[in-house]
Amino acid sequence: MDQDAQKNYFEIAYRTGSDVWTHIPYHAVAMRMLPPLAKDSFILDIGVGRGLWLHKLVAAGFRVIGLDYVADIVRKGNLDLKSENLGDRARFVVGDVTDIPLADSTFDCVTDIGVLQHMASGQRIGYMSEVARVLKSGGYVLNVSLSKETQRFLGFKPKHSADASFEKFGVSYYFFTNDELNGLFLDYGMKLVDQRIEHFDARTDPDDSIALVMSLYKKD
């Protein structure tokens, strides 16, 4: 997989407004799955994008850092926070999830909505070790990823295919089984607390319907 092509795809999608994933209505279920965190708990949202989820977390009383490797969307996110006087509650930061520019054991919770699914298999070690590193002991990860239960997405048919890995327009998509995800997190000392599969209409194609596996893990 060409990492530059994938990053370029995200940059262009935000610039042209063709970021179809931003409007998938996962927020309400994700919010209900959050653990009982104290007010002012510190959350890292990796692959923050436009920050719709970050704003929901701020509205729920948390302090949030949003990380993304697309510098333009980070700049815009910080301008929006400033204009809404939320600069003391949240901040967007440029960085790669495989090399997070933040200190060890900083966060009570890390959220990932749709990032791990785009990591090449060789990047997963970097991703998992960085998430585990910035999370406090006893902290949580909320992960939302494409599920192998997806019937049809962008012309792929993961549920009825032997493959779980697909590529289109230079972007790789991985559709996880629950067991695969749980094994990956367990290898880094994070145990499953809650998990469900939710189905959503995608705006990519009239017949597309995606399944997302939504999981909450706790670090030992």
Ligand X SMILES: C[S@@+](CC[C@H](N)C(=O)[O-])C[C@H]1O[C@@H](n2cnc3c(N)ncnc32)[C@H](O)[C@@H]1O
Cβ proximity of 110 and 131 under 8 Å: yes
* 9 is an interface residue for ligand X by CB under 6 A: no
When the beta carbons of 53 and 166 are compared against ligand X, the nearer one is 53
* 118 is an interface residue for ligand X by CB under 6 A: yes
Cα(33)–Cα(152) distance, integer angstroms: 26
* 214 is an interface residue for ligand X by CB under 6 A: no
End-to-end CA, the chain: 33
Q: Which helix (H) or strand (E) holds 67?
A: strand 63-68
Residue 62 has which token pair? 């948390």
> What Cα–Cα distance (Å) separates residue 82 from each residue in 77, 79, 178, 218?
9, 5, 39, 33
* 114 is an interface residue for ligand X by CB under 6 A: yes
* 47 is an interface residue for ligand X by CB under 6 A: yes
* 139 is an interface residue for ligand X by CB under 6 A: no
Give me the 180-199 binding string for ligand X, x by CB under 6 A, dash otherwise: --------------------
User: Judged by CB under 6 A, which of 30, 34, 44, 49 binds ligand X?
Assistant: 49
User: Judged by CB under 6 A, which of 1, 8, 21, 106 binds ligand X?
Assistant: 21
* 33 is an interface residue for ligand X by CB under 6 A: no
Cβ proximity of 35 and 193 under 8 Å: yes
* Residue 207, C-beta contacts closer than 8 angstroms, at least 6 positions apart: 152
Cβ proximity of 125 and 94 under 8 Å: no
Give me the 56-75 binding string for ligand X, x by CB under 6 A, dash otherwise: ------------xxx-----
Q: Is 171 helix (H, G, I), strand (E, B) or coil?
A: strand
Cβ at position 43, least distance to ligand X in Å: 13
Cβ at position 14, least distance to ligand X in Å: 7
* 141 is an interface residue for ligand X by CB under 6 A: no
Which spans of this chain sit near ligand X (rule: CB under 6 A)? 10, 21-22, 47-49, 53, 68-70, 96-98, 113-115, 118
